[in-house]
Structure formats: structure tokens, C-alpha cells
Amino acid sequence: MIDYKDFEKVDIRVGEIVKVEDFPEARKPAYKLMIDFGSEIGIKKSSAQITEHYSKEELLGKLIIGVVNFPPKQIGSFMSETLTLGLSDEKGDVVLLSPDIKVPTGGKMF
């Protein structure tokens, strides 16, 4: 078990996807995302293996949930700055975590 103080260390925020690019160099099919986490955090880059359920067009403007205080992670030639959160469907493909009602970007999960 973790202590609630441990949970508070993880900074989980809502962001809006503002740019999507193919990531052909990735080992598994993925997109490069630019996500706007509001004025306090700004725009961060992420790689996400979400090509099974989402087209680039439908991702633009989508609100997602991400961890913004992990250190950057090198993924091939790409430096990911945030962890975009999702869940596996029955086939193991990623489904994004996303608010079902519009909320301001940068809002912190609690």
C-alpha cells in the first residue's frame, strides 16, 4: 500500500491534444502528440500507442489525462515529456483516459 502523500506526488492533469504526427520509427504503431496542459505547464510531447482506436484527425482537440511530472523518456528518436494515460481493451489495445465533460486544460486530478 502507498500513503496518500505518495499519491499527491504524482501530478496528473488534463490536456488538449493540439498536434498529432505519425511515429514510423516506433517499434509498435504510435503517434507523436503535442499536448497543451494550460498556462502553468504549457505544451508537452508524448508518444502514444493509440493507432488502433484513434485517427490523427479525431485526436486533434481531444482532452486527455496525463502525468506531467515524470522525467522525460527517450523513445527511439523522440523525447517524451509526459505520460498519456490509457487502459487496455480486451485485445490489449490502448483506450485513452479522457473526461466526459469539457474541463479547462491544466486542471489537476484529485
pLDDT in tens, 85-103: 999 999 999 999 999 999 9
Domain-located, residue 107: no
- Mean pLDDT score of the chain: 96
**Number of structural domains in the chain:** 1
Domain-located, residue 23: yes
Amino acid present at 47: S
Domain-located, residue 84: yes
Q: Give the pLDDT score at 53.
A: 98
Cα–Cα distance, 29 to 46 (Å, whole number): 14
Q: Give the pLDDT score at 35.
A: 98
The parent domain of residue 84 ranges over 4-96
Enter the pTM of the model: 0.95
- Average the pLDDT over 61-80 and give the result: 96
Domain-located, residue 74: yes
E strand or H helix that includes residue 86: strand 86-88
- Average the pLDDT over 26-33 and give the result: 95
Domain-located, residue 102: no
Domain-located, residue 88: yes
